[in-house]
Structure 1
Amino acid sequence: MGVIRVHEFTTVDGVVDAPMWTMDYGFPEDLAASIGALTAPAGGILLGRTTFEMFAPAWSTRTADDDPGAPFFNDTTKYVVSSTLTDAESVWRNSTAVGGYDAGRIRELKADRDLYVSGSATLVRALVADGLVDELHLYVYPVAVGTGIHLFPEGTEQKLSLLGVEALSNGVAHLTYGPA
């Protein structure tokens, strides 16, 4: 059975949308190594449609010379959870649309490969609620932005178990959670 590892950049007040606020903190080697440890075992990338459509133009033209993460994002099969997108391959190579969210279908994908998820808050909420996330990696930036999409919206109840804590050189806290 594979593992689903989720990676989210978040503010201290829980905002996860379009993390432009990360730019002020750079991308030091220890952050790159931490994220690299999440992507290294992945046999697939699982994304929601919105994140897929944001990532495709950003990553599809990058090379390893531009960014060491480019080969992972471009060469690894991307599974896009969407009830509206039908031809993911025409948007970004090595991509396939798997239809709307279906926990059973995700379990099938997870059965024989580790999956990496980045962003995709709506998808992540469903995965966590269905007990499909094995590791939730929150990279908490020391900034509050006040408004935006929260990983867990008001009214959400979710118990998690702390698996690890790592302080990064740019002031970011890497918190790892698993199922309670």
Structure 2
Amino acid sequence: MGAIAVHEFISLDGVIEDPSWTFEYGFDPKMGETLGAITGGAKAILLGRLTFEMFAPAWRDRTPEDDPGVPFFNDTVKYVVGSQAPQEEWNNSKHFGPYDADAIRKLKDETDGTIYISGSGQLVRGLLRDGLVDELHLFVFPVALGKGDRLFDADLTKLALNGHDVYDNGVVHLNYGPA
């Protein structure tokens, strides 16, 4: 049986939209080590259609010399959740169809390892509501944006802290699981 591990870059006020605001903080190499540990046991990637369409052109033409994460993103099977099929092409990608908690439970049951998710706010909100997230990795940047798409909606979400890291660039990694 698999587990779902979500990774988000998030502001202090919960914004996950267009994380270009993270660039000014740089990317601490220890953050890369943490992300490598999160993706290390992953056997699949689950993405919302919009995130998939942003990731595909950003990753598919890169080489391992450009970024050590390239083999993971390009070689791992990717399931795309959305009522519409994605417009972008990317190897090892499958249209999963619209959000269906039972179908995702089945995918978890059939996956021997972690199913990794990055971004995909609408998908992650549904997974949190349905109790399908096993690990929620929040990389909290020291900025409040005041507006933008937030990870958490009006539903009560209780989590338990599994661990944390603090990086030299001011980013804090919070690893949560179900409460």
Give the structure-1-normalised TM-score: 0.95
Counterparts of 2:43 and 2:102, CA distance in 1: 18
Q: Deviation string for 1:26-50 (max 9, x for gaps)? A: 1121000001111110000000001
Task: Give the corresponding residue for 2:171.
Answer: 172
- Cα deviation 1:76-103 (Å, max 9, x = unaligned): 0000011111x67x61111000100111
Of 70, 88, 91, 1:93 maps to 91
| Cα distance in 2 for residues equivalent to 1:74 and 1:132 | 25
Matched letter for residue 22 of structure 1: T
Question: In structure 1, what is the Cα distance between the partners aligned to 2:146 and 2:131?
Answer: 29
What residue identity is the alignment partner of 1:133? Answer: V
**Alignment partner, residue 160 of structure 1:** 159
- Whole-angstrom CA distance in 1 between matches of 2:167 and 2:43: 26
In structure 1, runs of 5+ residues without a counterpart are none
Tell me by how many angstroms 1:116 deviates.
Answer: 0.2
Aligned counterparts of 1:172 and 1:28: Cα–Cα separation in 2: 9
Matched AA of 1:100: P
Tell me the equivalent position of 1:14.
14
Q: Is the 8 A contact 2:129 2:155 kept in 1?
A: no
Sequence identity (%): 56
Cα deviation for residue 156 of structure 1 reads: 2.3
Indicate if the aligned counterparts of 2:139 and 2:174 stay in contact, CA closer than 8 A: yes
The CA distance in 1 between the partners of 2:65 and 2:108, in whole Å, is 31
The AA in structure 2 aligned to 1:108 is K
Task: Count how many residue pairs are aligned between Structure 1 and Structure 2.
Answer: 177
Distance in structure 1 (CA, Å) of the matches to 2:34 and 2:15 = 21
**Counterpart position of 1:124:** 124
* Alignment partners' CA distance in 2, 1:17 and 1:46: 18
Structure 2: stretches of 5+ with no match in the other structure: none
Alignment root-mean-square deviation, CA: 1.2
User: What TM-score do the two structures reach when normalised by structure 2?
Assistant: 0.95
Q: 1:22-61 alignment to 2 at 5 Å?
A: 22-61=22-61
Letter in structure 2 aligned against 1:172: V
For 1:156 and 1:170, locate their aligned partners in 2 and report how far apart those are by CA, in whole Å. Answer: 32
Alignment of 1:72-151 (within 5 A): 72-85=72-85, 91-111=89-109, 112-113=111-112, 114-151=114-151
Looking at structure 1, the residues matched to 43 and 167 of structure 2 have their Cα atoms a distance apart, in angstroms, of 26
Structure 1 runs, 4 residues or longer, greater than 2 Å off: none
